[in-house]
Amino acid sequence: MDPDNTRGSDSPTLGGETTRNDHDTGHLARLSMTALGVVFGDIATSPLYAVRECFHGEYAITVSHENVLGVLSLMFWTLLMIVSFKYLSFVLRADNHGEGGVIALTALLRRKGSETKWGRSLLTAGLFAACLLYGDGMITPAISVLSAVEGIRIVMPQFGHYVVPLTIIILATLFYLQQRGTARVGRLFGPIILLWLGVLATLGLIQIIRNPSVFVSLFPWHGIDFLIRNKTAGFMVLGAVFLTVTGTEALYADLGHFGTRPIRLTWGVLVMPALVLNYFGQGALLLEHPEAAHHPFYGLVPSWAFGPTVLLATLSTIVASQAVITGSFSVSRQAIQLGYLPRMRICHTSAAHMGQIYIPQVNWLLMFCTIGLVLGFQSSSNLAAAYGVAVTSTMLITTVLFCVVAQKRWGWSLLRVSLLAGLFLAVDLPFFCANASKIFHGAWFPLLIGAVFFFVMRTWKWGREDLNRELSRLTPALSDLQKTLEKDSPKKINGQAIFLTGSTDRVPAALIHNLRHNKVLHSEIAFLHFKTADMPRVPNFEKIETEKLGGGFYRVVATYGFMETPNISNALALARESGLEFKIENASLFLGRERLTLGEHPKMGRRRAALFLFMSRNATDAATFYDIPSDQIIEIGVQLEL
């Protein structure tokens, strides 16, 4: 991979197009508008609570002229260093065949260097970072929608006690609508965020005109002076300053949908200017009215515009929440394909947009946890204390993984990588430490969620590996089976049979049991093995490998990317192009159903084995997952002990 050539510009987009013709102004504008809604929804709604938490939150600092200028300076340079410099200039270069995100980055390391102890540690860190995204997927909808609806207290204070119930209704509706897909609603995402950014910029600019002196905050020494003067208290405020860059990981995760150019263009031309103007406008307001610290954003809004602004803010936070929820679905599918989660039903909600999927189990889990957060924390200010640890942890891990990729895969010099890593860590570590101080104030929740998902994923991975080893021990190699059949050939019947197998060189247990009990074999037998590549998508001409083994046996290896859903009809159609004439409508499909029991001394421990057994029993069956016609399936049970 060329580190200076991001292939995101050649990656699939939400509309099924590619960005190869980015030079076309109309196409680039449409793509940028879509990216505006999907990528920047989260970070664009941060002005609702970021400034407020610095001066009115758990670790609030006194509203003074020097403190306001210092906080604004920290916010501006945080946006510049983390978003513009770190992610847009460097991290976006680490694309995995056009796809971004921490799992895509981790998959790059799986191809090279993962066999060492250090390599395995990096893979573990990448997996944990992916698990932390589930915590983000729960907190973001809660804090975003709650902070917007809290505007009701300003418009109609007498209805303030309806804020939490209304937030729950909005969130429940949002999660309920996930099963219908977001193809139609998605077209409105870009215009809504564009209008929202316009309002942010306008409100901020009006206030800045009254007090333009806030622009001196562009100089970094105001932020440095703030930290020196306020010492520990100033350091703690960094946790609130970090709220300005929540959602930055989405820039990288959505790389494959849009490519680098629309993301960079939209950020530089629209998003960052609007955010800076609004933050500085809130600062100018606080310089004039320090008492407005309880909600400086709504302090910018004229009384006649309160209602429309609250409505627009609510719509914008729904857009931000939608992007995070969809991201949780994508992470789950990738984890399933890479073998870290059991099979779950994946629904494709759009024929045109292949990235739009819906996973019921993940959706309802997110909904119950998100609503639980709203009920437990009651206000966006309380939720802000829980926000940040998961995101800063993910950013730290991204920094480490990126630097390893830069050195190992791109050949960057150790000096160059060390200097870059030092600069990134000098920014990331203070934010991480400041947020870590909030662990006992709610920040434990996303860490707990990440740890639970990590434990579940590792349990499933280890359990499947143990079962595969056990099956390999119980079943012979293909070569041994062929030798046995040459000596004692069973009766053969005309027809085709397809056996799904988890190994390319072992005989499926279903075939051994069928041969043992029925004493017959089909005249043509294909062993079909689905394999997941360490890349997002595999071209059709590379998906299928076929091999004639002799004696009527064939081996078919179907390789799919970790962002694709395997399909048996598709695999056989591609195999026919390679000359293997197996048709699903004419073949019998044999599946082995594992009946697991808990032994007295499981290798992974009794509790962990019980968890694995529970997941196995509730996993989607292979027939449903691979879309196999039910009237052609023959299931043969295999009993194994954990």
Q: What pLDDT digit, counting tens, does each position of 170-196 carry? A: 889 888 877 776 555 556 778 888 999
**Rounded to an integer, what distance in angstroms lies between the CA atom of residue 258 and that of residue 13?**
5
Q: Give the C-alpha separation, 471 to 444, whole Å.
A: 40
Q: Is-contact 564 585, C-beta < 8 A? A: no
Dihedrals phi, psi of 139, to nearest 5 degrees: -75, -40
pLDDT (0 to 100) of residue 256: 65
> Rounded to an integer, what distance in angstroms lies between the CA atom of residue 544 and that of residue 575?
6
- pLDDT digit string, tens, across residues 193-248: 899 999 999 999 999 999 999 999 999 999 999 999 998 888 888 888 988 988 78
Closest CA to 269 of 18, 82, 32, 42: 32
Q: What is the CA radius of gyration of the chain?
A: 27
Residue 223, token pair as written in the block = 């932020």
As a whole-number percent, the residues of the chain with pLDDT over 70 amount to 89
Amino acid residing at 528: L
- How far is the C-alpha of 362 from the C-alpha of 272, rounded, in Å? 32
H helix runs in 40-151, sequence order = 41-44, 50-56, 65-78, 102-110, 117-149
Q: Render the burial of 340-361: b for 16+ CB within 10 Å, e for the rest.
A: bbbbbebeebbeebbbbbbbee
Neighbours of 303 (CB within 10 A): 8
Beta-bridged to residue 96, according to DSSP, are 99
Are 362 and 329 a contacting pair, CB within 8 Å? yes
Cα 5 vs. chain centroid, distance in angstroms?
24
Average pLDDT estimate for 527-540: 82
Alpha helices in 409-443 (DSSP H): 414-436
Query: How is residue 59 annotated by DSSP?
Result: T
pLDDT at 615 over 60: yes
pLDDT value at 16 more than 50: no
Q: Highest-confidence range of 326-340, 367-381, 465-479, by mean pLDDT?
A: 367-381
Residue 507 in tokens: 């005989």
CA distances from residue 336 to 331, 558, 567 in whole angstroms, order as listed: 9, 16, 14
How are strands ordered across the β-sheet holding 544-550? 544-550, 553-560, 520-532, 491-500, 587-597, 633-641
- The type of residue at 338 is L
* Measured CA distances, 340 to 453, 464, 497 (Å): 10, 9, 30
Quote the CA–CA distance of 45 and 244 in Å, as a whole number: 9
Q: How far apart are CA 215 and CA 409, in angstroms?
A: 42
DSSP labels for 158-177? GGGGGHHHHHHHHHHHHHHG
Q: State the amino acid at position 448 in one-letter form.
A: L
Which is higher by pLDDT, 592 or 614? 614
What domains can be seen in the chain, in order of their start residue? 7-441 (1.20.1740.10), 475-641 (no CATH)
Asked whether 526 and 497 are in contact (CB, 8 A), the reply is yes
Find residue 498's DSSP bridge partners. Answer: 526, 589
Q: What is the pLDDT of residue 6?
A: 36
On the question of pLDDT at 24 being above 70, the answer is no
Local confidence band at 612 (pLDDT 50, 70, 90 cut-offs): confident
Task: For 245-254, write each residue's pLDDT tens digit.
Answer: 887 877 787 7
Encode pLDDT of 385-402 as tens digits.
777 778 888 888 889 888
The pLDDT value recorded for residue 2 is 38
Alpha-carbon distances, residue 423 vs 19, 84, 182 (angstroms) = 32, 14, 39
Comparing 84-98, 140-154, 207-221, 592-606, which segment has the lowest mean pLDDT?
592-606
Q: Would you tell me how many other CB atoms lie within 10 Å of the CB of residue 540?
A: 11
The pTM (predicted TM-score) of the whole model is: 0.77
Highest averaged pLDDT of the listed ranges 63-67, 591-595, 599-603: 63-67
d(CA 527, CA 515): 15
DSSP H or E segment with residue 208: helix 183-210
Give me the mean pLDDT over the 21-45 stretch.
Answer: 73
97-111, 165-179, 213-227, 318-332, range with greatest mean pLDDT = 213-227
Alpha helix (H) residue ranges in 475-595: 478-487, 509-518, 540-543, 568-577
User: Which 3 state secondary structure label does DSSP give 343?
Assistant: coil
- CA-nearest of 453, 150, 449, 139 to 321 is 139
pLDDT at 13: 34
Rounded Cα distance between 630 and 24, Å, is: 47
Is 544 strand, coil or helix?
Answer: strand
pLDDT for 541 beyond 50: yes
User: Where does the pLDDT of residue 22 fall: very low under 50, low under 70, confident under 90, or very high at 90 and above?
Assistant: very low
Place of tokens 């990590």: 454
Burial profile 167-180: b = 16 or more Cβ within 10 angstroms, e = fewer: bbebbeebbeebee
